[in-house]
Chain A
Amino acid sequence: MTAAPIWLTIARKEFADALRSRMIWGIVVIIAVMTSLSAGVSLLVPDVDGGVEMAIGGASQFAGLLVPIMALIAAYLAISGERESGSLKVILGLPPSRGEVLFGKFLGRSGVVAIGLTLGFAVSGVVTAALYGGLPVGAFVGTTILTVLLGVSFVGIAIGISAVTKTRSRAMTLAITAYLGLTLLWDLAPNAVHLLVTGEMPGEVVPGWFLLLQGFSPTGAYNALVQRLLLGGGTAVEARLGGPAPGYLDPAVFVVIMLAWAVVPLVAGYLTFRRADLS
Chain B
Amino acid sequence: MDTGSLSDARGSAGDEPVAIQTRGLTKRYGEDVLAVDDLDLTVYEGEIFGFLGPNGAGKSTTIDVIMDYVRPSAGSATVLGFDAQRETRAIHERVGILPDGYGLYDRLSGRKHLEYAISLKRATDDVDDLLDRVGLDASAADRVVGGYSKGMTQRLALAIALVGDPELLILDEPSSGLDPNGVRLVREIARDHADRGRTVFFSSHILSQVEAVCDRVAILNRGRLVAVDSIAGLRDALGTGSTVTLTVDSVPDSLTVAAIAGVSDVAVDDRTIRVRVDEATAKVDVIDRVRDDGAAVLDVTIEESSLEDLFSAYTGDAPRQVGAPEGER
Please, which residue of chain B has its CB at the minimum distance from the CB of A81?
B103
Please, which residue of chain A has its CB at the minimum distance from the CB of B35?
A279
How many Å lie between the Cα of A6 and that of B89 in the bound state?
A: 12
Residue pair A278, B70 in contact (C-beta under 8 Å)? yes
15 contacts between A and B (CB under 8 A): A6-B120, A9-B116, A9-B119, A10-B120, A86-B102, A86-B103, A89-B69, A90-B99, A90-B103, A90-B104, A92-B92, A93-B95, A93-B96, A94-B121, A279-B64
B121: which of A17, A95, A275 is its contact (CB, 8 Å)?
A95
Q: A9-B120, A275-B71 are in contact. Are A95 and B102 (CB under 8 A)?
A: no
Does A91 count as interface, using CB distance less than 8 angstroms?
A: yes
Q: A3-B122, A97-B88 are in contact. Are A89 and B99 (CB under 8 A)?
A: yes
How many Å lie between the Cα of A21 and that of B144 in the bound state?
A: 13
Does B101 count as interface, using CB distance less than 8 angstroms?
A: yes
Interface size on B, residues (CB 8 A): 35
Residue pair A279, B69 in contact (C-beta under 8 Å)? yes
Does A173 count as interface, using CB distance less than 8 angstroms?
A: no
Does A13 count as interface, using CB distance less than 8 angstroms?
A: yes
A90: which of B68, B95, B160 is its contact (CB, 8 Å)?
B160
Q: A165 to nearest B CB, angstroms?
A: 16
Contact with B along A76-105 (1 / 0, CB 8 A): 000000100111011111111100000000
Please, which residue of chain B has its CB at the minimum distance from the CB of A10?
B120
Residue pair A86, B119 in contact (C-beta under 8 Å)? no
Q: Kindly identify, within residues 55 to 106 of chain B, every residue whose CB is under 8 Å from any CB belonging to chain A.
A: 60-61, 64, 67-71, 88-89, 92-93, 95-97, 99, 101-105
Question: In which size bucket is the chain A interface?
Answer: 20 to 34
Residue pair B69, A20 in contact (C-beta under 8 Å)? no
Does B256 count as interface, using CB distance less than 8 angstroms?
A: no
Q: A92-B69, A97-B88 are in contact. Are A87 and B104 (CB under 8 A)?
A: yes
Does A277 count as interface, using CB distance less than 8 angstroms?
A: yes
8 closest residue pairs by CB, A with B: A86-B103, A85-B103, A277-B70, A93-B97, A89-B99, A87-B103, A86-B102, A278-B69
Q: Kindly identify, within residues 103 to 130 of chain B, every residue whose CB is under 8 Å from any CB belonging to chain A.
A: 103-105, 107-108, 116-117, 119-122, 124
How many Å lie between the Cα of A82 and that of B107 in the bound state?
A: 13
Residue pair A277, B71 in contact (C-beta under 8 Å)? yes
Contacts of A92 in B (CB 8 A): 67-69, 92
Question: Can you add 19 more A-B contacts, CB < 8 Å, to A21-B107, A90-B157, A95-B92?
Answer: A17-B107, A17-B108, A20-B107, A85-B103, A86-B101, A87-B102, A89-B97, A89-B101, A89-B103, A90-B99, A90-B104, A93-B67, A93-B96, A97-B88, A275-B71, A277-B64, A277-B69, A278-B70, A279-B101
Contacts of A277 in B (CB 8 A): 29, 64, 69-71
How many Å lie between the Cα of A85 and that of B105 in the bound state?
A: 9
Does A1 count as interface, using CB distance less than 8 angstroms?
A: yes
- The main secondary structure of chain A at its interface with chain B is helix
Q: B229 to nearest A CB, angstroms?
A: 29
Please, which residue of chain B has its CB at the minimum distance from the CB of A17?
B107
Q: A17 to nearest B CB, angstroms?
A: 7
Q: Kindly identify, within residues 141 to 172 of chain B, every residue whose CB is under 8 Å from any CB belonging to chain A.
A: 157, 160-161, 163
Please, which residue of chain A has its CB at the minimum distance from the CB of B145?
A87
How many Å lie between the Cα of A89 and that of B97 in the bound state?
A: 9
Contacts of B116 in A (CB 8 A): 9, 13
Contacts of B93 in A (CB 8 A): 95
Q: A79 to nearest B CB, angstroms?
A: 13
Residue pair A1, B102 in contact (C-beta under 8 Å)? no
How many Å lie between the Cα of A266 and that of B31 in the bound state?
A: 30
How many Å lie between the Cα of A112 and that of B82 in the bound state?
A: 38
How many Å lie between the Cα of A98 and that of B88 in the bound state?
A: 10
How many Å lie between the Cα of A6 and that of B70 in the bound state?
A: 22
Please, which residue of chain B has its CB at the minimum distance from the CB of A278?
B69
Residue pair B124, A1 in contact (C-beta under 8 Å)? yes
Please, which residue of chain A has its CB at the minimum distance from the CB of B92?
A95
How many Å lie between the Cα of A6 and that of B95 in the bound state?
A: 17
Contacts of B96 in A (CB 8 A): 93
Residue pair B61, A96 in contact (C-beta under 8 Å)? no
Q: A109 to nearest B CB, angstroms?
A: 15
Residue pair A86, B107 in contact (C-beta under 8 Å)? no
Q: B160 to nearest A CB, angstroms?
A: 6
Contacts of B64 in A (CB 8 A): 277-279
Q: A87 to nearest B CB, angstroms?
A: 4
